[in-house]
Amino acid sequence: MEKHGIKELEEAVDLLIELLPLFMKLGADGIDLSDGIALVEEFKKRPELVEHIRKAVEGATKIPQEIGDISFKEAFDLGSKLVYALPRFFFGLLK
């Protein structure tokens, strides 16, 4: 039986799903200073994203314990979440 759950791990996965398309879009033409500026502008427009990052970073130290006792169901749920997000990543590459 899992002792720790996967709350922090799930927040990290959700953040990855949220940020990866943005990073793919910004870096599509190569990475330069303008990408950093665009990222800051995006954070200004979306303060909820900054809050999401803060929460994920705060709990990051608990992730190793969560991984250490992850159950099959929890792993399946996280994997399903990532598979469900794949179209967003692929469509992000096509833009």
Closest among 79, 70, 90, 50 to 7, alpha carbons compared:
70
| pTM of the entire predicted model | 0.79
| Amino acid (1-letter code) at residue 36 | G
C-alpha span between 34 and 37 (Å, rounded): 5
User: Taken in order 83, 87, 88, 93, is the CA torsion positive or negative?
Assistant: positive
User: What confidence tens digit (pLDDT) does each residue in 45-76 have?
Assistant: 999 999 999 999 999 999 999 999 999 999 99
The pLDDT score that the predictor gives to residue 12 is 93
Average pLDDT for the chain: 88
